[in-house]
Amino acid sequence: MFLNCDLHSHSGYAGGVGQISLDDLEKTMDKKGIQVFGTGDCLHAEWRTFLKDNLIEKEDGLFSKKGNSARFLLQTEVIFTAAVGSGRKSVHTVLLFPSFESVDKVCGLLESMGVKNTIGRPFIKCEDSKDVGDKLCKILDADEGIEVIPAHVMTPQGVYGSNNPVNYMKDFYGSAVERISAVETGLSADPEILSLIPELDNFALVSNSDAHSAALNRLGREFTTFDVSSVSYGSIVEAIRRKKVARTAEFNPTEGRFFLTGHRAGKKGHGDAYCAFSPKFTPKDERCPICGKGLTVGVLERALRLSDVQGGTRELGELSPSSKDFIKMVPLVEVIAYSFGVLSVTSGKVVSVYDAITDAFGSEAEMWFAKDSDIEKKLSSIGIAPEIIDNIIKIKDGDFCFSPAGFDGTYGKLKVGEKEDIFNVNIVSGHLGAQRTLF
């Protein structure tokens, strides 16, 4: 059977995250078509206590609120930090747990390591890559069911990211790399981009939302469909370890916040000025032409560099053997808001149309998986405006772009019915709204 899983999120105890209600998560899961959702931050004492008090185990390792069908899986993100190369590197890493007992064991282990487990993402300080490997292996040894997944591997905070970059996963994770079965694509990458990197042929590719709220444009914006034998934690982890990924649903990477190299507006010395570059236009010294400081190197540029270092032979768009079926999505509420010409994805008329569409298909996921003809027929029959239907079909068919694409923490800007060559972007803006130069 197929199971839609979104296994990376955060609670209200992670930085920059407000209070999150399980009821709100369940409502959004149902609308988005997510059957299993990661709890986020399960190592944090207060959130862990809340989860214990409010969830009951329904199947082996999966939990729910009493009487509800939504399933939760115990999950956290941790940050390993170690001296690598010329400085320190911090890498976000997802951990999955089969039980509260295994969570409690790891909490005790982190305490023995001197980790201050007072924030949603605890920092695990290590001396070097060997120490990272040793400590991660100790965590995995606490329970054979614990699973590790390097998070959003291409962003600056990922293992391949531009912050003090490394060229191979073992350069950071040390001996523990042998116990890693899958990596997370992240919002600014997808299987096409990761297929450029030969090392990743050995790993399953999974996608998760990294949601910081229950918002309709956050939760389920990425997810993985696993081919499982049963609805259980063990079956999900077995699918990860045996690479039984049926498909992934991908946030369009050009919308992702770190796709291109650049500097966003608002940085010191920038005012409202910004810059963004495709790889061939990045200044050779990698310095910002506005403020003179080092640019944030984007995911596309990092992937191409890693391909060169690792001896890659694939062109962008040529998939590796490890890649499975995948679709690229734009959050449906964003498409509806764009169609109405409004900025807010939470406005009443946007949500009303969203509810009508998801009611018709059963969930947003099922709409994206449907054929164009079925979408047009079904949405026309319930009175959805033609321009909204047209924009959905155009996005499914790839007739859109994000211009500018995402860079340095800024999401890309949707434009339906237009195209932009991601390899020919050279933006230097004197002030926000100034003429962008595209070569």
What is the reported pLDDT for 436? Answer: 31
The pLDDT-based confidence of 250 (bands split at 50, 70, 90) is: very high
Residue 346 DSSP SS3: coil
Lowest mean pLDDT among 24-28, 324-328, 372-376, 385-389: 324-328
Supply 233's token pair.
């934690």
Mean pLDDT of the 380-409 span: 96
Report the share of the chain in percent with pLDDT over 90: 90
Q: How far is CA 429 from the centre of its chain?
A: 29
Q: What is the C-alpha to C-alpha distance for residues 163 and 341, in angstroms, rounded to an integer?
A: 37
The residue behind tokens 């390993």 is: 80
Q: What is the C-alpha to C-alpha distance for residues 335 and 280, in angstroms, rounded to an integer?
A: 31
Q: What is the C-alpha to C-alpha distance for residues 416 and 390, in angstroms, rounded to an integer?
A: 10
What is the reported pLDDT for 18? Answer: 66
When the pLDDT of each residue in the chain is averaged and rounded to a whole number, the result is: 94
Size (the chain), residues: 439
Burial status of residue 352 (CB atoms within 10 A of its CB: 0-12, 13-18, 19 or more)? exposed
Q: What is the C-alpha to C-alpha distance for residues 275 and 282, in angstroms, rounded to an integer?
A: 10
Q: What is the C-alpha to C-alpha distance for residues 12 and 20, in angstroms, rounded to an integer?
A: 6
What is the reported pLDDT for 432? Answer: 43
Interior CA angle at 173 toward 167 and 174, to 5°?
A: 95
Mean pLDDT of the 352-379 span: 97
Residues β-bridged to residue 184: 206
The pLDDT-based confidence of 12 (bands split at 50, 70, 90) is: confident
Q: Taking the CB of residue 380, how many other CB atoms lie within 10 A of it?
A: 12
Q: Has residue 259 got a pLDDT over 90?
A: yes
Taking a C-beta distance cutoff of 8 angstroms, is the pair 147, 114 a contact? no
Mean pLDDT of the 245-273 span: 95
Between 254 and 14, the more confident residue is 254
What is the reported pLDDT for 383? Answer: 97
The pLDDT-based confidence of 435 (bands split at 50, 70, 90) is: very low
What fold is seen in the domain 2-253?
Answer: TIM Barrel (3.20.20)
Q: Where are the alpha helices (DSSP H) in 33-162?
A: 45-54, 100-112, 129-141
What is the reported pLDDT for 136? Answer: 98
Residues β-bridged to residue 89: 82
pTM of the model: 0.95
Taking a C-beta distance cutoff of 8 angstroms, is the pair 286, 265 a contact? no
> 51-98: per-residue pLDDT in tens?
999 999 998 999 999 878 899 999 999 999 999 988 999 999 999 999
Best CA proximity match to 174, nearest among 262, 294, 93: 93
Q: Sketch the domain layout of the chain as residue ranges.
A: 2-253, 330-396
The pLDDT-based confidence of 323 (bands split at 50, 70, 90) is: confident
Best CA proximity match to 439, nearest among 253, 427, 405: 427
- Find the helix or strand (DSSP H, E) in which 336 lies: helix 332-340
Phi, psi of 240 (to 5 degrees): -65, -50
What is the reported pLDDT for 62? Answer: 97
What is the reported pLDDT for 439? Answer: 28
What is the reported pLDDT for 433? Answer: 43
Residue 199 DSSP SS3: helix
How would DSSP label each residue in 202-242?
GSEEE----BSS--TTTTTSSEEEEE-SSSSHHHHHHHHHT
Taking a C-beta distance cutoff of 8 angstroms, is the pair 261, 282 a contact? yes
The pLDDT-based confidence of 287 (bands split at 50, 70, 90) is: very high
Taking a C-beta distance cutoff of 8 angstroms, is the pair 321, 201 a contact? yes
Taking a C-beta distance cutoff of 8 angstroms, is the pair 167, 306 a contact? yes
The pLDDT-based confidence of 13 (bands split at 50, 70, 90) is: confident
> 131-166: per-residue pLDDT in tens?
999 999 999 999 999 999 999 999 999 999 999 999
What is the reported pLDDT for 197? Answer: 97
Burial status of residue 378 (CB atoms within 10 A of its CB: 0-12, 13-18, 19 or more)? middle
Q: Has residue 434 got a pLDDT over 50?
A: no
Q: What is the C-alpha to C-alpha distance for residues 392 and 306, in angstroms, rounded to an integer?
A: 34
Residue 116 DSSP SS3: coil
Q: Has residue 437 got a pLDDT over 90?
A: no
> 85-110: per-residue pLDDT in tens?
889 999 999 999 999 999 999 999 99
What is the reported pLDDT for 16? Answer: 63
- The upper half-sphere exposure of residue 23, i.e. CA atoms within 13 Å in the direction of its Cβ, equals 0
Q: Where are the alpha helices (DSSP H) in 370-427?
A: 372-381, 386-396
Q: What is the C-alpha to C-alpha distance for residues 347 and 149, in angstroms, rounded to an integer?
A: 36
Residue type present at position 91: V
Q: What is the C-alpha to C-alpha distance for residues 18 and 25, in angstroms, rounded to an integer?
A: 13
